[in-house]
Amino acid sequence: MIMTVTLNPAMDCYLSPERFEKGAINSYDSCRFRPGGKGVNVSLLLTSLGVENTALGIGAGPSGREIDELLRREGCKTDFLFLEEGASRVNLKIRTPEGEETDLNGTGPEIPGEAVEQLGEKLSVLGPGDGLVLAGSIPPSLPADSYAGLLRKTAEKELFTVVDAAGEALLAALPCRPFLIKPNLEELGALFDTEISELSGAVECALALQEKGARNVAVSLGERGALLVCEDGRRLFCRAAGGEAVSSVGAGDSMVAGFLYGWQLHHTLEEALRWGVSAGSATAFSPGIASGEEVRRLYSQVENVHPL
């Protein structure tokens, strides 16, 4: 069993106007609503891959209820906590025919600390060998160490833990020794106030995060693929599959889901990374989160992982 936690889920509204001009009235024919948030995206792909999981989240207002309903329509098992006040965020994803992307992302409702405590109680059903994915931004109303608190609450359960977050939220979680963290290149550089352009720089920063507590550090590199600095000292690289990118939304989240799927299948970091890159690439080539079938089809096109 895997549980994903999304403290700030969203309802994503995709718009495709024929043109988008700032300061003008723009028209569109139709829109598409999808459940959003990093942990939500992980659950969507895990479900499509046939991996048993439950999406946990904090929802508020009609938009929060709709996020839960949209997930259920996709076949996801959910266990949301709903607030009486506020509304879950609605994000606008504007895509023009020229391929330009403009996102308007909401901040979400005020979330009281006791809501996170109640969400943490739902983790009591997890046991040794189960997975826990903490993903996405922490709402401004909550302390930056909220993920660390959830990890401490489950520390004695011997879980397979993944943290996919940025900034202080990630740094605060590192002393809890998560099995895997997955910053992208930009997020990794921001942690050390530097711009990373070479793999050697990414490896150096990943090693520094290991010193702070992370066991394995996967760094998503966009169209180049991904790097994995392993707790046993190995450094692995997997090149992304070739294809035409449609959108970067959810590609990193899909990489996490693919990694988990590959780990369950093979229990090797090499295959986990290869499946992770396959899943990230598949979503990058899709208008939304890729299906399990698309990931499996692309897997055969991804080169074997090799050491750096």
Residue 62 pairs in a beta bridge with none
Alpha helices for 143-219 (secondary structure H) = 146-153, 167-173, 185-191, 199-211
Instruction: Select which of 12, 145, 164, 253 is catalytic.
Output: 253
For the beta carbon of residue 23, count every other beta carbon within 10 angstroms.
5
- Whether the Cβ atoms of residue 89 and residue 108 lie closer than 8 Å to each other: yes
Active site residue 253: yes
Backbone angles phi, psi at 60, to 5 degrees: -150, 140
Surface-to-core class of residue 132, CB atoms within 10 Å of its CB (0-12 exposed, 13-18 middle, 19+ buried): buried
Grouping H, G, I as helix, E, B as strand and the rest as coil, residue 265 is helix
DSSP-assigned letter for residue 130? -
Kindly provide the b/e burial profile for residues 72-89, where b requires at least 16 CB atoms within 10 angstroms of the residue's own CB.
eebebebebbebeebbbb
For the beta carbon of residue 288, count every other beta carbon within 10 angstroms.
18
Active site positions, annotated: 253
